[in-house]
Structure 1
Amino acid sequence: MQAKIVVLAGDGIGPEVTNEAKKILDVVGEKFGHAFAYDHQLMGGCAIDAQGTSLPDATVEACLRADAVLLGAVGGPKWDIPTAKDRPERGLLALRKALNLFANLRPVKLQKELIHASTIKESVLEGTDLLVIRELTGGAYFGPRQEAGDDGYEAYDTMLYTRPEIERVVRLAAEAARGRRGKLASVDKANVLASSRLWRRVTVEVMKEYPDVELEHVLVDAMAMHLIRRPATFDVVVSENLFGDILTDEASMLAGSMGMLPSASLGDKLNHHDLPLGLYEPIHGSAPDIAGQG
């Protein structure tokens, strides 16, 4: 197989991380007969410095033509200005939107040799092997919003979801569960939020297509507790955007560190090999305090 991979090294330790990842890809390619061509593009703080925008048009165009996108990390104190017109993280949100990446997959599987890295008791962690799937294009991050005015009195964000947005991510999660242990936990806040009641209703309808998958509804606050108390009982977990953003960081601590876990964001667009175009990255931040130390 020949594949074109766009590399977005980004900020902080991003360039070091992506350089090591490329070495591994080259070894894989050599062993299994693949050839990878790398196209380096700018995104994040480095793009703001070089071109005045966190996501240049050329980067989007290159990613749309690629077979896969490899991201290092974006952000850092240098660009952490709340009033700035553009910030590194906005580039990532915009890229997900441009590529129509609607689902973020984060597997959490503990290796016995690394179980000591977690602060949670070994007896609780044993057997943990779960996959968290987070919806990426809807919710409060993309709904109508109002920034606070000069008086700083009022601001709001809107958690907006549509039926198609929910259907596609739940269907993807159900397919994943079908290929694993056959259990799906859908996370919402249906006892309070209208968008969560729609989420639950649509989930129930979609899951009628998957009678072989066991469905469980879990309120997000309860899920935050259960992830720490009984993580090994979960197989696939699916959630809307904001809840998923929080829960995936919590789940990463089961492994002891965000630096140990991978992430894949997938969408509807197919690459040249008729596989989903994906954005692949480690889930840690840019860690500027250790950048350049190897």
Structure 2
Amino acid sequence: MELFSRPASVSYDDIKRQSPEEFRKEWEEWRRLREDYMKEPYGWLSLTSIDWLENGEPKTLDGFPGTWLQQGDAVIYTPPEDGGIVITNHDAPVSEPVRINVPEKGDFNLEDFYNGDVRAQLIKRIGVQHQFAIRIRDPHSAGIGQLQSIPSFEPDQRWVFPAKFEPAEQHEDVTVGAVAGELSHDETSIGILHVDFDGEKRDLIVFEVHNDDSGARRIDEATGEYVYLNNRANITNEGHVLFRDKTSGHESYGGARVIGFDNSDPASVSYVDFNRSMNLPCAFTVFCTCPFAPLQNTLPFAIEAGEKKPAVFGSLE
């Protein structure tokens, strides 16, 4: 998820020295980039469905030709027999069944298959009954046209607070809940953001940023075969904070909002700007599996800054 963080060179004092007009102008440019990102052809609003696989049961989808079959830790996609339909994967036509094997537990964005410009994305999540799902992305989705703007609180410099980032000596997984009830997420904790809320100090867990793209993998030197990497692979120099506050579930989205920052130079992190708090994708569409904020990141007061709760696109019925 793109977070549009300021450069690491920008300090708390730099922001506080801005005039209200300068601050608003910069925020409006950030908001424009954010809204453009949400409207990208294969962005979150392009999602039109999510279908979970049942182990051992073949599944066909209304929105994409072919058959999907989960066999334990693997999924086999079989293209349609109709020779007039061309399915591609990694820019090559798919004429035979494709087996995707992922024995590891975790959150993975695995493979993209295309039927014209419609994309079927195979994902794996941490679930009790369900692990693999197919999400359909359509660049002509009604959801993209539905979003005119993201409702937000008015920008105000008083919601910029001094903060220090303390990197963790060793990264560790933190299990959090998810909007899809039976699922959970293993978020990678990379440190603590110490925030001074006008004299009230809070320590917020910082997670590694997710990679939304599919197909992150490497060659296993022992076997010579591809091994898929989880969706935190290939992300560097950026952390994010999932948080809730007294506006959550009321003015703002209930699961969590997120703030990102450049941590390429941890010692230079000097602030957190809640005016740039963003909704998770699940605030916009029902076809996502977003995490909840950890309990430690639940604030006992209202953060009346950043994005408000938007209209939700789609239905799971």
Q: TM-score, normalised by structure 1?
A: 0.21
Q: TM-score, normalised by structure 2?
A: 0.20
State the structure with more CA Rg: 2
Structure with the largest fraction of strand: 2
- Choose between structure 1 and 2 for higher RCO, CA contacts under 8 A separated by at least 6 residues: 1
Structure with the largest fraction of helix: 1
